[in-house]
């Protein structure tokens, strides 16, 4: 039986109960009432039987993972995906402290390595599923003062948004790139540190800073609010690893989700969002 929703069930039950009472047929009333109660409990049992998979993922995956969840649900209707998005380093801390997580998707290898060193991962499931790039962005309404990395040193540039190096992968990538160009120490007094890459994006899109460093895919999300100046040259590959958490209460479903990330439908979603193949 296909029951479309709570309102439909309620109207169905009331209609038959009223008919039974109108006919003053107590026996029929009791039969219909039992049927109604049974129907409600059956639907509740089906809902309770659906597995909920908790996926802790890097902030830069916020938009694209929601699309991936929709695609995954079509193939696995009995599994519900709920996300927890934050900086990768913060997510590792949450998992270490006992947060009930089934899958962890990081924006860098260091955070995943930290989780592995803590014995948190099902190591056999770890793999890279997409790549990205770090870019220098400015507000779309910028006056052109920031044209490249070197122009960040101009006295007119006062505030540059950067991810917190201790916990935000894009912050570590930014530091690597600016150390490579010899500018990290020169620009240090201008840095406004953010708790995740989306906060950097917010600072720039609202014009609260004159420039910032985010992933290329984040810049694409707010292409109406920010402009990309250039790609940040770094030696480290910006790859995203994923793994099942060893303590997962839904290990089979978690492995299924991780495997799905390599599928053609998922990779098409990633490509459309600007991510590259691993």
Taking a C-beta distance cutoff of 8 angstroms, is the pair 102, 248 a contact? yes
What number of other Cβ atoms are within 10 A of residue 34's Cβ? Answer: 10
Residues in the chain: 278
Pairing of strands 134-139, 211-215: antiparallel
Element (H, E) at 82: strand 79-86
* Chain mean position to CA 197: 12
The answer to the question of whether 60 is labelled as a binding residue is yes
Decide: 97 and 245 in contact? Cβ < 8 Å: no
Q: Quick check: 138 and 204 in contact, CB under 8 A?
A: yes
Q: How many CB atoms lie within 10 A of CB 23?
A: 10
Say if residue 88 carries a ligand binding annotation: yes
Residues facing residue 105 across a β-bridge: 57, 242
If one counts every other C-beta atom within 10 angstroms of the C-beta of residue 275, the result is: 23
| 244 marked as binding residue | no
Q: Is 215 annotated as a binding residue?
A: yes
Quick one: which H or E segment has residue 35? Answer: helix 26-49
Angle, in degrees to the nearest 10, between helices 26-49 and 6-22: 170
Going by the annotation, the residues of the binding site are 60, 88, 197, 215
- Annotated binding-site residue numbers for molybdate: 60, 88, 197, 215
């Amino acid at each position: 039986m296909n029951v479309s929703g709570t309102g439909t069930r309620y109207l169905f039950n009331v209609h038959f109960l009223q008919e039974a009472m109108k006919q003053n047929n107590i026996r029929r009333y009791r039969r219909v009432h039992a049927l109604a109660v049974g129907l409600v409990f059956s639907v509740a049992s089906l809902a309770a039987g659906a597995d909920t998979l908790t996926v802790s993922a890097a902030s830069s995956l916020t938009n694209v993972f929601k699309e991936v969840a929709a695609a995954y649900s079509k193939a696995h209707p009995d599994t519900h995906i709920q996300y927890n998005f934050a900086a990768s380093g913060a997510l590792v801390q949450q998992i270490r402290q006992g947060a009930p997580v089934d899958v962890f998707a990081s924006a860098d290898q260091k955070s995943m390595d930290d989780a592995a060193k803590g014995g948190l991962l099902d190591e056999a499931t770890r793999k890279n599923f997409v790549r990205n790039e770090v870019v220098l962005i400015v507000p779309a309404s910028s006056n052109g003062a920031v044209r490249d990395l070197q122009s960040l040193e101009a006295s007119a540039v006062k505030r540059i948004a950067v991810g917190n190096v201790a916990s935000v992968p894009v912050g570590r990538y930014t530091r690597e790139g600016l150390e490579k160009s010899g500018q990290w120490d020169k620009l240090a007094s201008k840095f406004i540190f953010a708790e995740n890459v989306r906060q950097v994006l917010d600072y720039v899109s609202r014009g609260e800073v004159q420039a910032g460093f985010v992933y290329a895919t984040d810049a694409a999300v707010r292409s109406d609010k920010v402009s990309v100046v250039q790609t940040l040259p770094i030696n480290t590959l910006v790859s995203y690893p994923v793994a099942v958490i060893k303590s997962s209460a839904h290990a089979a479903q978690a492995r299924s989700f991780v495997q799905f990330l390599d599928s053609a439908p998922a990779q098409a979603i990633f490509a459309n969002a600007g991510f590259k193949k691993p």
